[in-house]
């Protein structure tokens, strides 16, 4: 039996401008800008992460269930109101609602796919962190 241990992921972001940041994660660099800027915005990365996560977990769960997925596309939509973010007033700062549609090319039947998707949703890390609350601590250090 495999023993799974907690892993610590760490990223480090430095400013390229007051709105633009380069974030290092291991050997990768992810550039993030404001909405309408020169790179995707933070909230676009959130939706993209969910799409990519559904693909990976979808593959893992399909292998376990002996489902052959020939192709898979994911569309993710989020409803967002910028008022809180821009002005500090109004409702919640983040997405009010997120919807994902998984388009699967496969010969598996609908019933099997329903079970597959339930398992994918339950095991998808990004889905979990969006749908459920996560303890989050933000601190500053003056330097």
Q: How far is the CB of 37 from a second copy (least distance, A)?
A: 9
Q: How far is the CB of 16 from a second copy (least distance, A)?
A: 9
50 CB burial (10 A radius; 0-12, 13-18, 19+): buried
Q: Is 111 in the site for a second copy (CB under 8 A)?
A: no
Q: Is 102 in the site for a second copy (CB under 8 A)?
A: yes
Q: Is 28 in the site for a second copy (CB under 8 A)?
A: yes
The phi and psi torsions of 103 (rounded to 5 degrees) equal: -100, 115
Show contacts with a second copy in window 32-61 (CB under 8 A).
32-34, 39-57, 59-60
Q: Is 140 in the site for a second copy (CB under 8 A)?
A: yes
Q: How far is the CB of 29 from a second copy (least distance, A)?
A: 9
Give CA–CA dist 16/38, Å, rounded.
11
Q: Taken in order 57, 44, 42, 22, is the CA torsion positive or negative?
A: positive
């Amino acid at each position: 039996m495999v023993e799974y241990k907690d892993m610590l992921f760490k990223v480090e972001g430095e400013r390229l401008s007051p709105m633009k940041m380069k974030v290092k994660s291991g050997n990768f660099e992810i550039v993030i800008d404001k909405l309408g800027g020169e790179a995707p915005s933070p909230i676009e990365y959130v939706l993209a992460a969910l799409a990519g996560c559904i693909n990976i977990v979808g593959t893992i769960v399909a292998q376990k269930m002996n489902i052959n997925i020939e192709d898979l596309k994911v569309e993710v939509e989020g409803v967002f109101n910028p008022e809180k973010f821009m002005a500090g007033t109004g409702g919640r700062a983040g997405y009010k609602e997120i919807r994902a549609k998984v388009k699967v090319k496969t010969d598996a039947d609908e019933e099997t796919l329903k079970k597959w998707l339930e398992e994918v949703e339950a095991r998808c890390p990004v889905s979990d962190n969006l749908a459920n609350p996560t303890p989050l601590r933000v601190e500053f250090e003056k330097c």
